[in-house]
Structure 1
Amino acid sequence: MRPKAATLPTPGAGGIEISCLDWPAAWLTADGIIRSLNDAMRGALGADASPGLNVATCFRDTDAAKLLLALSRLMDNEPSSIEVSTSKADQKHFIAGLSQANFNGSGDGAVLLQLTDITDLRRKLDEVTMRESRWNYALVGSTSGVWDQRSSGDYYYSDVWREIRGLGPDDAFPPTMEAWLELVHPQDRERVLHCIERQNAGDPDYSVFQYREMHKQGHYVWIECRGACVERDADGNPARIIGTDTDITARKQQEEWLEGLSRRLKLAIDISGIGIFETDFEAGTSEWDEGMRRIFEVENDCEVQIGGFWESKLHPEDRARTLAYVAGKIAEMKPFTDNYRIIARDGSTRYIRSNSLPFMDHDGRLKMIGVNWDVTEDQRLRQELEQQKTLAEARNAELERTRLEAEHSAMHDYLTGLPNRRYLEMKLEEWRDSKGELGTGIAVLHIDLDRFKQINDTLGHGAGDAMLTLAAKILRDNIRVTDFAARIGGDEFVVLIDHDGATPALATVASRIIAQMRQPAWYNGQECRFGASIGIAHSLTRDIDPKQLLQNADIALYKAKYLGRNRYEFYVPASRTLLADSNRLSSELLRALENDEIFPQYQLQFDARTRNVVGAECLARWRHPTRGILGPDKFLTIAEEYGVLAQIDGLILEKALIDQAAWRAEGIAPPKISVNVSARRLTDPDLARGLSDLDIKPGTVSFELLESVFLDRQDAAVMSNLDMLRRLAIDIEIDDFGTGHASIVGLLNLKPTTLKIDRQLIEHVPDSQEQRILVKSIIQIARSLGIKVTAEGVETEEHARILSRLGCDVLQGYGLARPKSFEDVTQMLRDKKSAQA
């Protein structure tokens, strides 16, 4: 329903008199004709503004159209405000307010126009916009990326900042300092942390520092970071830090090249025995290096003056000629060579050869630079030349060997000795240009080591390097001489194979590599297990871009990892859709954490003999806005890849504790709840502080560790966190036991409260004597170590009966209770309590 218009007297007839208003006001007809206006309005619009004039003609064409449109809509809408500008040379800017009124209730509509002058405000805003535009253009032109970090967690990274790292606008960046440090070159990490700390503290010596960071494409780029703390909180801690990052990779490469050139020049100078000098004729001095001082027998702290020492050393018979010759060449400003004699300190004559170059420096000062060397005993010159020839040939051979070694180093991985990415790209270009040893058809195998990072994190980089070396050997042993294997960075390898169209042969090679990679390896007495995922792309013609072929293999590799790792997959066009879906799902997962879409479901656990509820396992679920409830198999792999798995673990624990408190308030709480803990979270040095802030009742919570990530030797951080869990009376359980690699020694070191036998070992217990014996053995080992046993995957009553007879303590599975929401589990617990009452 349209609101009833206000009833106002006719202007000038005793109603609202606009003439007494201090601001511009006018009464208009519905189509914009001025009926009356006050002096302030006439001053705003100009002397031409008068009754009978259409007010729209006083404004710019575009604003006139907006005004007329607002008038036409005013009949059906609420009063409106628009910004308008006059069309005069001294342009003014206003906020025009329009409101409708009826006169005497007759329905004769009129519009009240009021103006608010915003000319000064508009000009100031335009100036601010212009200044901001200049700064933005300047920053873009400078190729510097801008970053802005706040303690509140708000971060800003400019497009140039992202381009430096190969990131697109939607690419995620590591969410934590620890995750970001993984991208920093290992040799720079400790220094970078120190520089950031000093920069945050306002130390001017650390306002600029340089480091290397991993580019999205896998190589390192040199970055020069400039930053400063611009805001601090009440305690003096940094609240806002702003700075710029500049890609200085090209500059660093140039510096490295110049450094190498300098080393070679120094080597040449040292070998040749020459002396170098630079003379400043205006200052009257000459700077001599060690070689010159040696030749002319000058003390190192002695200053060489023009017209003094050097002239006195000249042989009397050569002095006049030499001085005249040098003076003439300096006057001509041409380079010259000279031979002359000097008198040594012991009175002997020595022969000197010199090359000199007179020049004007940038200040217009006349200078000369040159080299001298001793060529004494001319009668032995032939012998000396022969010796020098021999030495020169040896030096050339050494330089050639050095060149070959440098070329080899530039094209090969320092650790494994395999060709590197650069060599791989050259090999692919040779293939495309029909050169090299590869045939017309080619297959690309992109290999990524599984569980390598866990070995690196737990046993150290030495173990990681040993596994990389072993992986390189396995690749060499499983390809032909004509094939090609390269390490392209980190734990990634690429193999090029002559391909004749027979994909089964490629599958055989991939299967053989995977099988050998899965064999246990040893480092310093510790067993290490890793695997490999392989993506395969192939072509029988050279009409495909080698980079596209590599990308296809990479996409196939992603599919292999997505489908469970330790497998190979061939590239098919549909794989691109899988990659796109995964990228989309990763972005949605990050938003899900922000939108509180991750929640726990609970699967009850039962005493094997009494069937009483003895616990509940918390299982992560995702309430996806379009796909419904998703299980962990749909998102935990992506969560681990993007470094948010530990965050999900913590979130599930916090929510489970809240639900547990609610159950406890009703008197229906299970004796214990168990939550999964990722390997990354166990290495978190802040885990103890985070858990101590939670209300965890002793003995009511247990942490489940996957046996597949359990090793017999953990680092100090892991062992410290495990000791802390015991002090907090949090039980430790080994999940999926029987499928991983834990040893009895490992169990003794870890001292878990419970082993959970994997469902794969439980599945065939009713119909397999061997399976029952295996489960019985696990239970007996656990009993001997004082460890309780839980069986997962209890699907039938027959499962439950046999497992109880074998000595299992706790049963869990769909045959007893499926995972359910908090509300459903609450009702089940209420029902059980009522039944026992």
Structure 2
Amino acid sequence: MPVKKAHPEAGDPHGDAAAVEAGIGNGTTDDSDLAERESRWNYALVGSGLGVWDHNYRLDRKYYSPTWKTIRGMAPDEETDGDYEAWLQLVHPDDRDFVVDAIDRQNAGDPNYQVFEYRERHKDGHWVWIECRGACVEWDQNGVPTRIIGTDTDITARKEAEETLSRLSRRLDLALEVSRIGVFEADIEHDTVEWDDRLIAIYGLQGASRQIGGDVWAKSLHPDDRERVLGLSDRSVESGSDFQQEYRIIRGDGAERVIRARSAFFIDGNGHRKLIGANWDVTEEVALRNELRRAKDLAEARNRELEAAKESIEHLALHDYLTGLPNRRYLDKMLDERAAECRAKGLALAILHIDLDRFKQINDTLGHRAGDAMLQHAASVLRTSVRAVDFVARIGGDEFVILCIVDPASKKIASLAERVIRELRKPVRYEGHDCRFGASIGIAIDSGPKLDAKQMLLDADIALYRAKGLGRNRFEFFSASARRDIISAKHLADEILIGLERNEFVPFYQLQFDARTLDVAGVETLARWQHPVHGLLTPDRFLDIAEDLDVVSTIDALILERAIADRKVWLKDGLPIPKISVNVSARRLADPDLGKKLRALKIEPGTFSFELLESISLDDCDEAVAANLKKLRKLGIDIQIDDFGTGHASIVSLLRLSPKTLKIDRELIRMLPQSAEQRKLVGSIIDIGRSLNILVIAEGVETAEHIRILEELDCDTLQGYALARPMPAMQIPSFIRAGSWRQGQIAARALQAQLRRALPSRAAK
């Protein structure tokens, strides 16, 4: 170990320093005896791993043995100059101040620093723990140390073992602390017991010394447990067997606690027989265990009641609370079971998906109690309509499913569907009302090893969708074409949404004419879809899907805005169209923000009218619709009734609504030339309109004969292909200026007048 005031290393390595490493002092000994002793001590030092160092300041000589160098990763013959400052930089930074002080104290002869430990960097970079022993052996006449000799020992392995032992001790102590386990050690031969602090705390003996007499433990035992526990303890000591027991104690503070104890015997290093054990407080655990035992006893006593409750819960989990039928969860389970049975037996599985028609109207008008009664009635009908082996489930709302296993060639499923529809169409009496509803049914049938019941349920749903689309109160079997239709409808729905984003919906206009003068009386705005692939599409190609998407109101709004813009262009072109009518959907008419949106458009009063389909149900207008109709009038927007004569509007509703115009449906106009009864009916409608001061428009005017008859019936306005077809806004000006619709009509009217004049003269003859 280098020390302060380092001197260059010099001298014979076999001189005094070598003698010191060999442990040889001054004396008179022959050379052979001296060599033998030197060899003996040198081997002993090397074998013990002690590195010798000798600092002789009187001779200015330092010596470091080969073992000293090996400890530090140096070669035995490697030169070292003993430079103190250079060596000090190899000492661990955390130990450096301590080492400087320790060397000073050691040089001063302080016995407390004759041995000290520190870390020094090994030549390969890691740290080596070194135990340094040294002492001053020579002083000058002033008492200043002139020679210090010592040894260094590599104690790295010992330090690592101590750290490992310390870490394990900390872990054990923490584990005992966390688990609140108290530990004791008893010397059987000397009848002494040492308790740790946790055990003292468990027994409520705070302040007691760790040396506890055996009688203290015995006295702490609960009187009711003492005899039993002491007897077990004595037998354990006598036999040397492990002790494991649970008992009660009375703590020093008087509290009663339950202790779990375990102990085992061992022989220590001195051959003494000892017992080590652990105690922990399990009062809460025992209380919980006793409570659980009581609960278990109670549960066993009520086992039958619980079993019944379990069955009830299972039934509720798998059945609909209202109808008592199996629910969707039960259906999913049965789908797998019935499909497996069909695959195994070569039978066919039939799935009927049933949806009640007009159920919502009953629910909305008569209330949910009436709706519940109808659902219960429907469930009863389905139960009685199927076989005992068939499965009926309500899967939500007004939807039901029937599962039937049949022969693949059976025709009975159609008969079952017909019977269900027939029975469900029968009126049901409820609180003085005859409730009528029906059912649409989608059917899927499949068999074979690849039968997939989950897919079949989807197929039955597709067939149901088709049945409802074809008019309801009917059944349809699933087909691949039906699936294609569904996919096509989905594709069309996506295209509609994209078309709205790209402004592909445009207005077309069909002119309306005064029936007497054939002057332009107005124009109806019609929605068209300028499809990028299929060209111009009329509403019959997209309206149903648009209604499902709830975008009809959006289309109506777009068409109205375009019509307003087109009118402004026509005015600039010198064509003041008297009136522009636009269609309005029932949903848009119920929009609470409709008035605000229309005000933002700044529509000139008296220039636009909204066409309401008669099927909107004018007799049953809700508050929102009625409020919006009132707002339309305030904005100067007239109201027209479209398709009059095919819906269910009453004269009373016309009086209440007071529309400006009504349009006779084209189906009533079509047969005018062939049917006198149709002419009477249309004439009556015109008379009603006149009596109520309502203008009447006839649409579907296809021929000159239509024009003649309607003029005779005193109709106000005509609209149809005989006069003008729908056209884009840009064609309106040129069409009106050409006046082509008048040419044929003028000649026809002249011929009619000539025929009328000739008829009286012929009659006279």
- Cα 1:321–1:776 change in 2 (3 A) is farther
Residue matched to 2:560? 653
Amino acid at match of 2:729: F
After TM superposition, list the pairs within 5 Å mapping 1:754-765 onto structure 2: 754-765=661-672
- Cα 1:833–1:576 change in 2 (3 A) is closer
After TM superposition, list the pairs within 5 Å mapping 1:295-310 onto structure 2: none
Query: Cα deviation per residue 1:605-633 (whole Å; 9 max; x = unaligned)?
Result: 33344443323221111111111111111
| Residue pair 1:499, 1:540 contacting (<8 A) in 2 also | no
Q: By how many angstroms is 1:591 displaced?
A: 1.7
Tell me, yes or no, if structure 1 residue 829 matches structure 2 residue 745: no
- Cα 1:396–1:675 change in 2 (3 A) is farther
Residue matched to 2:348? 441
| Residue pair 1:657, 1:695 contacting (<8 A) in 2 also | no
Equivalenced residues, count: 497
- Cα 1:451–1:695 change in 2 (3 A) is farther
Residue matched to 1:626? 533
| Residue pair 2:385, 2:420 contacting (<8 A) in 1 also | yes
Residue matched to 2:524? 617
d(CA) in 1 for partners of 2:349 and 2:628?
A: 50
Query: Secondary structure of the equivalent of 1:433?
Result: helix
- Cα 1:711–1:828 change in 2 (3 A) is same
Query: Secondary structure of the equivalent of 1:536?
Result: strand
After TM superposition, list the pairs within 5 Å mapping 1:190-201 onto structure 2: none
Residue matched to 1:545? 452
Residue matched to 2:402? 495
Residue matched to 2:337? 430
Residue matched to 1:722? 629
- Cα 1:533–1:829 change in 2 (3 A) is farther
Tell me, yes or no, if structure 1 residue 635 matches structure 2 residue 514: no
Residue matched to 1:820? 727
Query: Secondary structure of the equivalent of 2:347?
Result: coil
Task: Give the structure with the higher percent helix.
Answer: 2
| Residue pair 1:534, 1:556 contacting (<8 A) in 2 also | yes
- Cα 1:491–1:810 change in 2 (3 A) is farther
d(CA) in 2 for partners of 1:732 and 1:333?
A: 101
d(CA) in 2 for partners of 1:534 and 1:402?
A: 37
| Residue pair 1:441, 1:538 contacting (<8 A) in 2 also | yes
Tell me, yes or no, if structure 1 residue 589 matches structure 2 residue 496: yes
**Percent of paired sites with the same residue:** 53
| Residue pair 2:259, 2:281 contacting (<8 A) in 1 also | no
| Residue pair 2:225, 2:247 contacting (<8 A) in 1 also | no
- Cα 1:830–1:715 change in 2 (3 A) is same
d(CA) in 1 for partners of 2:701 and 2:656?
A: 29
Q: By how many angstroms is 1:778 displaced?
A: 5.0
Q: By how many angstroms is 1:454 displaced?
A: 8.3
d(CA) in 2 for partners of 1:524 and 1:615?
A: 51
| Residue pair 2:247, 2:260 contacting (<8 A) in 1 also | no
Amino acid at match of 2:336: E
| Residue pair 2:342, 2:349 contacting (<8 A) in 1 also | no
After TM superposition, list the pairs within 5 Å mapping 1:725-764 onto structure 2: 725-743=632-650, 746-747=653-654, 750-764=657-671
d(CA) in 2 for partners of 1:617 and 1:522?
A: 46
Query: Cα deviation per residue 1:164-219 (whole Å; 9 max; x = unaligned)?
Result: xxxxxxxxxxxxxxxxxxxxxxxxxxxxxxxxxxxxxxxxxxxxxxxxxxxxxxxx
Tell me, yes or no, if structure 1 residue 607 matches structure 2 residue 524: no
| Residue pair 1:336, 1:356 contacting (<8 A) in 2 also | yes
d(CA) in 2 for partners of 1:749 and 1:355?
A: 89
- Cα 1:651–1:435 change in 2 (3 A) is same
Query: Secondary structure of the equivalent of 2:601?
Result: coil
Query: Cα deviation per residue 1:337-366 (whole Å; 9 max; x = unaligned)?
Result: 99xxxxxxxxxxxxxxx99999xxxxx995
Q: By how many angstroms is 1:831 displaced?
A: 3.1
Residue matched to 1:48? none
Q: Please point out which of 469, 473, 486 is paired with 2:393.
A: 486
d(CA) in 2 for partners of 1:463 and 1:734?
A: 34
TM-score (structure 1 length as normaliser) = 0.49
d(CA) in 2 for partners of 1:414 and 1:537?
A: 27
Residue matched to 1:403? 310
Q: Please point out which of 810, 813, 826 is paired with 2:717.
A: 810
| Residue pair 2:342, 2:447 contacting (<8 A) in 1 also | no
Q: By how many angstroms is 1:693 displaced?
A: 0.7
Query: Cα deviation per residue 1:411-439 (whole Å; 9 max; x = unaligned)?
Result: 23445554332222222222213289x99
Q: By how many angstroms is 1:706 displaced?
A: 2.9
- Cα 1:833–1:571 change in 2 (3 A) is closer
- Cα 1:399–1:738 change in 2 (3 A) is farther
Tell me, yes or no, if structure 1 residue 687 matches structure 2 residue 562: no
Tell me, yes or no, if structure 1 residue 574 matches structure 2 residue 481: yes
Query: Cα deviation per residue 1:513-554 (whole Å; 9 max; x = unaligned)?
Result: 667878999999999997755432212556411112122223
d(CA) in 2 for partners of 1:649 and 1:775?
A: 30
Residue matched to 1:14? none
Q: By how many angstroms is 1:679 displaced?
A: 2.5
Residue matched to 2:461? 554
d(CA) in 1 for partners of 2:437 and 2:542?
A: 23
TM-score (structure 2 length as normaliser) = 0.53
| Residue pair 1:683, 1:718 contacting (<8 A) in 2 also | yes
- Cα 1:766–1:463 change in 2 (3 A) is farther
Structure with higher Rg: it is 2
Bigger shift: residues 639-648 or 783-792: 783-792
d(CA) in 1 for partners of 2:612 and 2:243?
A: 81
**Over aligned residue pairs, what C-alpha RMSD do you find?**
5.4
Residue matched to 1:697? 604
d(CA) in 2 for partners of 1:514 and 1:805?
A: 48
Amino acid at match of 2:480: P
d(CA) in 2 for partners of 1:560 and 1:675?
A: 32
Query: Secondary structure of the equivalent of 2:620?
Result: coil
Bigger shift: residues 770-779 or 687-696: 770-779
- Cα 1:425–1:595 change in 2 (3 A) is same
Tell me, yes or no, if structure 1 residue 412 matches structure 2 residue 319: yes
Query: Secondary structure of the equivalent of 1:693?
Result: helix
After TM superposition, list the pairs within 5 Å mapping 1:260-271 onto structure 2: none
d(CA) in 2 for partners of 1:574 and 1:531?
A: 26
| Residue pair 1:668, 1:833 contacting (<8 A) in 2 also | no
- Cα 1:662–1:424 change in 2 (3 A) is same
- Cα 1:410–1:704 change in 2 (3 A) is farther
Residue matched to 1:676? 583
| Residue pair 1:357, 1:369 contacting (<8 A) in 2 also | no
Q: By how many angstroms is 1:692 displaced?
A: 0.8
Query: Cα deviation per residue 1:654-675 (whole Å; 9 max; x = unaligned)?
Result: 1111112222333434322222
d(CA) in 2 for partners of 1:334 and 1:692?
A: 91
Structure 2 regions of 5+ residues with no counterpart?
Answer: 1-177, 182-201, 205-221, 234-241, 249-256, 262-278, 292-296, 744-765
Amino acid at match of 1:633: D
| Residue pair 1:459, 1:714 contacting (<8 A) in 2 also | no
d(CA) in 1 for partners of 2:507 and 2:499?
A: 14
Residue matched to 1:313? none
Query: Secondary structure of the equivalent of 1:544?
Result: coil
- Cα 1:523–1:322 change in 2 (3 A) is farther
Q: By how many angstroms is 1:728 displaced?
A: 1.4
Q: By how many angstroms is 1:444 displaced?
A: 2.3
Residue matched to 1:793? 700
Q: By how many angstroms is 1:599 displaced?
A: 0.4
d(CA) in 1 for partners of 2:635 and 2:453?
A: 57
- Cα 1:738–1:835 change in 2 (3 A) is closer
